[in-house]
Structure 1
Amino acid sequence: MRTLRIAAAAEAASLVLLLGNLFTVHAPALSALLGPLHGTAYLVVIAATWMVPSAAAPGTRWRALVPGFGGLLVLRRIGDGRAATG
């Protein structure tokens, strides 16, 4: 669960930074650093979500596939208790 929280935060933050870079200075070095970080965080969110037993409720695991903020959607779903029935 801790891995999922860290990866979800990294996924969302890296997307915000990538878009901020795109709409402001568009520094290629920053894009080269943040792009792989965002992609790795996205894959870690998907893998970690499928490994969490409380994410077995219908629709919870598929939320991890939403690019950018899927990890935060999964954490919200798991954290409010609706996914605990599985």
Structure 2
Amino acid sequence: MTADSVPAPRLARRPLRASATIELVSLAVLLVNIATGNAREIAALFGPVHGVAWLFGILATRRDPRRSTGATLRAIIPGIGGLLALRALEQADAQAAPDTGSGAR
């Protein structure tokens, strides 16, 4: 059994899941801030948080053993890219996993 045939454990994607959530929430805060008056302090705090979470999501996707070009391209989309990449990686896991429900031993 090679390292490529073993599905990535769910815990290995925990950093990607966290960065995708932070990326989405920080984008929502920035958009609400723009709609309600554009306070510079909020933008100064959440802008860098959003940027770092976005870059971390791209890097975490690139390091995943099940990555594909499509998953990496999805990660590049600001705001929802981390969640889209995570979904693509989990679909790749589902396709690569052997059918365990067949009852064969």
Could you state the TM-score of these two structures normalised by the residue count of structure 1? Answer: 0.88
User: In structure 2, what residue type is equivalent to 1:75?
Assistant: L
CA distance in 1, matches of 2:63, 2:94: 14
- Structure 1 stretches of 5 or more lacking a match? none
Check if 1:64 corresponds to 2:75. Answer: yes
CA distance in 2, matches of 1:82, 1:60: 12
Q: What percentage of aligned pairs have identical amino acids?
A: 43
Aligned match of 1:32 in 25, 38, 44?
Answer: 44
Relative to structure 2, which stretch is displaced further, 30-39 or 74-83?
A: 74-83
CA distance in 2, matches of 1:36, 1:18: 11
User: In structure 1, what residue type is equivalent to 2:32?
Assistant: G
CA distance in 1, matches of 2:95, 2:62: 14
**Could you say what secondary structure the match of 2:37 adopts?**
coil
CA distance in 2, matches of 1:30, 1:36: 10
Check if 1:9 corresponds to 2:48. Answer: no
Equivalent residue number for residue 43 of structure 1: 55
Query: What is the Cα-based RMSD across aligned positions, in Å?
Result: 1.7
- Structure 2 stretches of 5 or more lacking a match? 1-12, 97-105
Q: Is the 8 A contact 1:54 1:83 kept in 2?
A: no
User: In structure 2, what residue type is equivalent to 1:17?
Assistant: V
The size of the alignment, in residue pairs, is 84
Q: Is the 8 A contact 1:45 1:64 kept in 2?
A: yes
- After TM superposition, give the deviation of residue 83 of structure 1 in Å: 7.3
- After TM superposition, give the deviation of residue 84 of structure 1 in Å: 5.0
Check if 1:19 corresponds to 2:31. Answer: yes
Structure that is richer in helix per residue: 1
Larger radius of gyration: 2
User: In structure 1, what residue type is equivalent to 2:21?
Assistant: A
